[in-house]
Amino acid sequence: MIARAGAGPLRRLVVLRHAKSAWPEGVPDHERPLASRGRRDAPAAGHVLADTDCLPDLALCSTAVRARETWELAAAQWGTPPPVRHDARLYAADVPELLEAVREAPAEAETLLLIGHNPGLEDLVLTLAGDSLDDALDDVRTKFPTSAIAVLAWHGTGWESLGPGTALLTDMIVARGKKGHGVRGR
């Protein structure tokens, strides 16, 4: 059941899968940088978040190089980026680990950005979303590619109240393009 108005302020969890990464020979997975396409798509993700009024109060980011570079390029598109917490638990995390990190966010942060990796992020979105607007849930089930952004909303007094099926998936956008424009859906 999705939490209704009156159960606390509207909160949004914005889930961003890192942009397309390179596969340089001999580089450990955690150290892989963004590919050329990723360097174009990450700023586009920043523009999409600004254009859709989804700028976060706080960001939680995996310590992997490709996730940190995605954060830096996306956040560079905003006037004043919010604080970021680089959290090693987010690298290769599954749903319980991701949810634990999210639930530790301060209540003052009403919009939280989570930057990490698949399959954990896709599984998290599918676990938390009790319903969606339009075809957003079907889009996530079909594919949650690099630079995908999922926006989950619910009413709660703190992040610890977020649980399976409690959020509404309001949007799923894939950031692509030269000039920072996103393409909705796949």
Q: Give the Cα separation of 168 and 148 in Å (integer).
A: 17
Average of per-residue pLDDT across 91-103 = 97
What confidence tens digit (pLDDT) does each residue in 118-170 have? Answer: 999 999 999 999 999 999 999 999 999 999 999 999 999 999 999 999 999 99
- What average pLDDT does range 46-59 have in this prediction? 96
All structural domains of the chain, each given as residue ranges with its CATH number in brackets, are: 10-184 (3.40.50.1240)
In the chain, % of residues over pLDDT 70: 91
C-alpha distances (whole Å) from 133 to each of 2, 151, 153, 171 are: 13, 11, 11, 7
**What's the pLDDT score for residue 177?**
61
Q: 148 vs 8, 80, 136, 157, CA distance in Å?
A: 28, 23, 12, 27
- What mean pLDDT is reported for the chain? 91
Amino acid occupying residue 81: P
Least confident range from 111-115, 166-170, 177-181: namely: 177-181
Q: How confident is the model at residue 101 (pLDDT cuts 50, 70, 90)?
A: very high
